[in-house]
Structure 1
Amino acid sequence: MKQSLVSQRKPSSFSVLTLNRFMLGAATGAVFAMAASQPAVAAPEKVVVYQAFQSIQYLPLYVAIDKGLFAQNGLDVQKVTAGSGAQGVAAVIGGHADFSLQDPMTAVLANLKGATLVNVANVVAGVPVWILTPPDSALKNPADLAGKTVSTALPPSTSTYLLQRLIKEEKVAGVNLNTVQIGTELAPVSAGRAEAAAIYEPQVDQGIASGYKILYAFPKAYPGGYAFSTMDTLAATIKSKPAMVAAFVKSVAQAEALIQQSPDTAKAVAVAEFPTLDKKIVETAVDRLISQKIYAANPDISQQAFRNALDLQEYIGNIKPGSVTYDSAVDDSFAKASAK
C-alpha cells in the first residue's frame, strides 16, 4: 500500500529552528516580566556605631548585631571600639560614626563645649558597680573602709565618681584611692596593695569565683533607674535621617526585649563576644546583670534615670547645676515609638 504524503512529509529544519527560537524568546520574556514585577529589594543602610569599650554591659548592642535584628530593620551596622567614651563621642562629632555608646554625660559635656549631640536610647539602665573584698577580709560595710586603700578605675570613670560620693556621704575618713586601668581593679587587691576594689562585670564574678565577697552593691542605691550608658547621635542626623534613627532604636529595643525573654540567647551571644573568658563566668555575669536590672528592658531614657546620672556629675563638679536640662540632652521619641 502507498504511504500518504502526510506520513512521508518531514518538518523542515527552518520551521523547527524558528519554533525553538520562539519558545526560547517567550520563556526569556516571561522571566524578565516576572523579575520586573517583583519589588526591588533596597540595599541595607550602612551605619557605624562606636562603643567606648568591648563590655559585657553593652550586650544589647551585640545581641542586635549577632541575632540579625539590625539587618531585619534594613541596617548594616558596623561596631567599632573607640577606647573611651570621649573618643566615641568625638567620632560622632567628626562624622566617622552615626552613633556612640557610653555614659550619656560624655555627650552632655561635649554639648557644653558646642556640640549638638542627643541621647536617643538607653542601653545600661542601672549602676553596674560593686565593691569587693578578698576572701579573708573582715570588712563588712562602707564604714569599714576608713583608713583603707580601695582600687578603682582611672578617672574619668563613673565607678570612681560613685565611690568618691559614697565615701563622702557616709563620712568615711582616710580612704586612699589607688586608681588603675579599668578592668584591672582586682590586681592591687590580689597583690596586697589595696583592701577593696570598685569594679564592673565580668570582674565581679571572676572575683566571686575566687572567693571575693561583695561589700557594697551600687545597683541597690538607684532603684529608680540610672542612665549609665546610652546611644547618642547628632541632632542633624535625627533631622536628615529620621527613618534610620528609628530603625536603629527599634533594633535596640528588640534586642533588649530578647535579653529579658531569653536569657539563654543573651548568654550565648555574650560567650561568643568574649571567647577568652571562662564561659561560666560570662553566663553568671549576664544572669547578675539581668536580675539586678542593669540591662535596659527598653530604650526609654526616663527623666529620673537621666537626673540620677546628671546629679553625680553636678556633685563632683563636672557640670554646673542648672546648665543642663533633660529636653536639651534627650530625644525619647524614638524609644517611645519602638514600644508601639
Structure 2
Amino acid sequence: MKRIKAQLMLFFSLILTACLLLSACSSDTSEKQKRDKVRVAEVTRSIFYAPQYVAIEKGFFKDEGIDVDLKTTWGGDKTMTTLLSNGADIALVGSETSIYVGAQGTSDPVINFAQLTQTDGTFLVARKKPDYFSWNQLKGSTFLGQRKGGMPQMAGEFSLKKHGIDPHKDMKLIQNIDYANIPNAFASGTGDYVQLFEPQASLFEQKGIGHVVASFGEASGKLPYTSYMSKQSYMKKNGDVLKRFTKAIYKAQLYVETHTAKETAELIAPYFEDTPVDLIEKVVDRYKGQHSYAVNPILEQDSWNNLQSVMKAAGELPKKADYKKLVNTTFSRDATK
C-alpha cells in the first residue's frame, strides 16, 4: 500500500511539474507575442546618439513591448532609401532628408515624430593651437569641410556666415572628400582647419594632430539635427507602436540628462568597441555641456524654422516645408506627460 501511495505521489508530482513547465512556456510565448519588432535604420553609429543606445541597454524599449532591430545604413541617402523601400520602419537621420523627400511630391511623405539631437554635432579643429581664437582667423585659410548638401556642411557654412565669413570667397573650401576619409586627409596634412564629429575631434586633440577651437553646434543654434521619422502609411497603421517607441526614447533622454557622463559612457561602451571608455566619457560630457542631446523628443516649430534658415543660406532648401505636414508631435507630447 505504501508503495502504491508513493508511486501515486510521484505520478502527480510529475504531472504538476509538467503543467508548470507548460505554463511557463505559454507565458514566455505570450510575452514574445506581445512584443512588436521595430526595424530602425540609423544614419551612422555615433556617440552623438547616446540616448538611443541607452534605451536599448536599459531595457526601455522592452519595457514598452518593443524589440528593436537596429542597423547602421551609413549616410543620409542610403538611410532614406532604406526607409522608402520598406527596409526599415523608422529612420534616425537628419530632418533635412524629410524635406528633400517632401519636395518631390510623394503621396506617402516621411514624417518626423521624435527628436534625438538638437544641435549640430561637429567641431572646428585647427591644425595649430592658437593663443586665442577668433573666427576671423579662418579668412585666407584652407578649410576641409563636409559633404555639400548635408547638414554638417550646411550648419558649418551657416556658422561661418554668422561670423562674417563667406566660405566660398574668404577661404579655400574643400568639400569633395568622402566623409569617411576626411579625418585621414587632415591627419595627412590637408587643410588648416577641419570640421569633425566626435570622437575624432577629441582623438586628434589627444594625439596632438589638431585642437578643438569652436563648436558648430553652439554657433548654429538649435536644430532638429537628428530625428526619428517614418512614412505616413506606417504611422497611420502603427500609431501605438510609435507612441511606445517615443516613450522609451524619452526615458533614455532623461537618463542621459540626469546621470553622469561616465555612467552613460560605461553603458553605451559595447557599441563603440574600438573607443576607450574615458574618451567616450569625454565626448558625452562635451555634448551634454553644449546641450546637443535633446532633453525631450518634441520637435518644436522654432527649431524647424531654424533648420530651413540654415538650408536656405546654403542654397539647399528646395521649397518651404510646412511644419504641420512633415512633423507630428502627438507621440512626443504624449510621452512627456
TM band (smaller chain): 0.7 to 0.9
Q: How many positions carry a matched residue from both structures?
A: 326
Is the 1:141–1:216 contact (alpha carbons within 8 Å) kept by the matching residues of 2?
no
Q: What letter corresponds to residue 68 of structure 1 in structure 2? A: G
Name the CA distance, whole Å, in 2 between partners of 1:155 and 1:245: 32
Name the CA distance, whole Å, in 2 between partners of 1:38 and 1:82: 36
Q: What letter corresponds to residue 20 of structure 1 in structure 2? A: L
**Any idea what the Cα deviations from partners look like across 1:87-135, whole Å, max 9, x if unmatched?**
2122222111110011011022112221411101111111212211123
Q: Please identify, of 155-164 and 123-132, the stretch whose mean Cα deviation from structure 2 is larger.
A: 155-164
Counterpart in the other structure of 1:175: 171
1:30-49 aligned at under 5 Å gives the runs: 31=19, 35=23, 40-41=30-31, 42-49=33-40
Give the SS at the match of 1:306.
helix
1:236 and 2:233 are equivalent in the alignment: yes
Distance 1:89 1:18, change over 3 A: same
Counterpart in the other structure of 2:257: 260
Q: Percent identity?
A: 19
Q: What letter corresponds to residue 102 of structure 1 in structure 2? A: V
Name the CA distance, whole Å, in 1 between partners of 2:77 and 2:134: 33
Deviation of 1:316 (Å): 2.0
Q: What letter corresponds to residue 303 of structure 1 in structure 2? A: Q
Is the 2:144–2:194 contact (alpha carbons within 8 Å) kept by the matching residues of 1?
yes
Deviation of 1:27 (Å): 5.9
1:206-285 aligned at under 5 Å gives the runs: 206-211=203-208, 212-223=210-221, 225-263=222-260, 264-285=262-283
Name the CA distance, whole Å, in 2 between partners of 1:186 and 1:144: 21
Name the CA distance, whole Å, in 2 between partners of 1:139 and 1:22: 84
Name the CA distance, whole Å, in 1 between partners of 2:68 and 2:180: 27
Q: What letter corresponds to residue 173 of structure 2 in structure 1? A: L
Provide the alpha-carbon RMSD of the alignment: 3.0
1:337 and 2:318 are equivalent in the alignment: no
Deviation of 1:181 (Å): 2.6
Counterpart in the other structure of 2:8: 20
**Any idea what the Cα deviations from partners look like across 1:183-237, whole Å, max 9, x if unmatched?**
54343333332100111111121122234333332222345x2110000011112
Q: What letter corresponds to residue 123 of structure 1 in structure 2? A: L
Q: What letter corresponds to residue 12 of structure 2 in structure 1? A: L
TM-score w.r.t. the length of structure 1 is 0.85
Distance 1:319 1:22, change over 3 A: same
Give the SS at the match of 1:77.
strand
Name the CA distance, whole Å, in 2 between partners of 1:281 and 1:18: 65
1:102 and 2:93 are equivalent in the alignment: yes
Unaligned runs of 5+ in 2: none
Q: What letter corresponds to residue 174 of structure 1 in structure 2? A: D
Q: What letter corresponds to residue 73 of structure 1 in structure 2? A: E
Unaligned runs of 5+ in 1: 1-10
Name the CA distance, whole Å, in 1 between partners of 2:144 and 2:60: 39
Counterpart in the other structure of 1:154: 147
Deviation of 1:19 (Å): 8.8
